[in-house]
Structure 1
Amino acid sequence: MMEQAQCAAEVYVERTLALIKPDAIENANEIEEIILRSGFTILQRRKVVLSPELCSDIYAAHYGKMFFPSLTAFMSSGPTVAMIIARHQAVAYWRELIGPADSVKAKETHPGSLRALYGTDELRNAVHGSETTSAAEREIRFIFPDATADPIPSGQDAVTYLSKFVNPTLLSGLSELCKRKPTDPITWLASWLIANNPNKPKIREDLIKEPENL
Structure 2
Amino acid sequence: LLRRYQLLFYPKDGSVEMFDVKNQRTFLRRTKYDELHQEDLFIGNRVNVFSRQLDLIGYGDQYTGNKLGSKKERTLAMVKPDAVNKMGDILQMIYDANLILTKAKMTKLTCCPGPYLLSILSLLCHDSSSLSSSLPTALTGKILHSISAAGFEISALQMFNMDRANAEEFLEVYKGVVTEYPSMVAELCSGPCMALEIRGTDAPKTFREFCGPADPEIARHLRPSSLRALYGKTKVQNAVHCTDLPEDGVLEVDTYWRLIHPHI
Task: Work out whether 1:83 is the aligned partner of 2:196.
Answer: yes
TM-score scaled by structure 1? Answer: 0.58
Whether contact under 8 Å (1:19, 1:82) holds in the other structure is yes
Is the partner of 2:139 in helix, strand or coil?
A: helix
Is the partner of 1:64 in helix, strand or coil?
A: coil
Whether contact under 8 Å (1:21, 1:128) holds in the other structure is no
Is the partner of 1:100 in helix, strand or coil?
A: coil
Whether contact under 8 Å (1:111, 1:117) holds in the other structure is yes
Task: Work out whether 1:129 is the aligned partner of 2:242.
Answer: yes
- Cα-Cα RMSD: 2.1
Is the partner of 2:176 in helix, strand or coil?
A: coil
Using the TM superposition, give the Cα deviation of residue 38 of structure 1 relative to its aligned residue in structure 2, in angstroms.
1.4
Cα deviation code 1:83-113 (max 9, x no counterpart): 1110111011111111000001111111111
Equivalent residue, structure 1, for 2:228? 115
Residue in structure 2 matching 1:49, options 141, 161, 167: 161
Whether contact under 8 Å (1:15, 1:90) holds in the other structure is yes
Cα deviation code 1:170-211 (max 9, x no counterpart): xxxxxxxxxxxxxxxxxxxxxxxxxxxxxxxxxxxxxxxxxx
Using the TM superposition, give the Cα deviation of residue 14 of structure 1 relative to its aligned residue in structure 2, in angstroms.
5.4
Equivalent residue, structure 2, for 1:35? 147
Whether contact under 8 Å (2:161, 2:191) holds in the other structure is yes
Distance in 2 between residues matched to 1:134 and 1:62, nearest whole Å: 16
Is the partner of 2:131 in helix, strand or coil?
A: strand
Give the 4+ runs in structure 1 shifted more than 3 A.
none
Distance in 1 between residues matched to 2:149 and 2:185, nearest whole Å: 30
Distance in 1 between residues matched to 2:238 and 2:208, nearest whole Å: 13
Using the TM superposition, give the Cα deviation of residue 79 of structure 1 relative to its aligned residue in structure 2, in angstroms.
1.0
Higher strand share: 2
Cα deviation code 1:111-151 (max 9, x no counterpart): 1111011001111100011012332222111222399xxxx
Unaligned runs of 5+ in 1: 1-12, 148-214
Whether contact under 8 Å (1:14, 1:88) holds in the other structure is no
Whether contact under 8 Å (2:166, 2:259) holds in the other structure is no
Bigger-Rg structure (1/2):
1
Whether contact under 8 Å (2:128, 2:253) holds in the other structure is no
In structure 2, give the amino acid aligned to 1:96: E
Distance in 1 between residues matched to 2:250 and 2:216, nearest whole Å: 26
Higher helix share: 1
Matches within 5 A, 1:64-103: 64-65=176-177, 66-103=179-216
Distance in 2 between residues matched to 1:146 and 1:77, nearest whole Å: 16
Considering Cα pairs closer than 8 Å and 6+ residues apart, tell me whether 1 or 2 has the greater RCO: 1
Task: Work out whether 1:18 is the aligned partner of 2:132.
Answer: yes
Give percent identity, aligned residues only.
Answer: 28
Distance in 1 between residues matched to 2:152 and 2:222, nearest whole Å: 24
Equivalent residue, structure 2, for 1:195? none
Is the partner of 1:44 in helix, strand or coil?
A: strand
Using the TM superposition, give the Cα deviation of residue 63 of structure 1 relative to its aligned residue in structure 2, in angstroms.
1.2
Whether contact under 8 Å (1:50, 1:80) holds in the other structure is yes
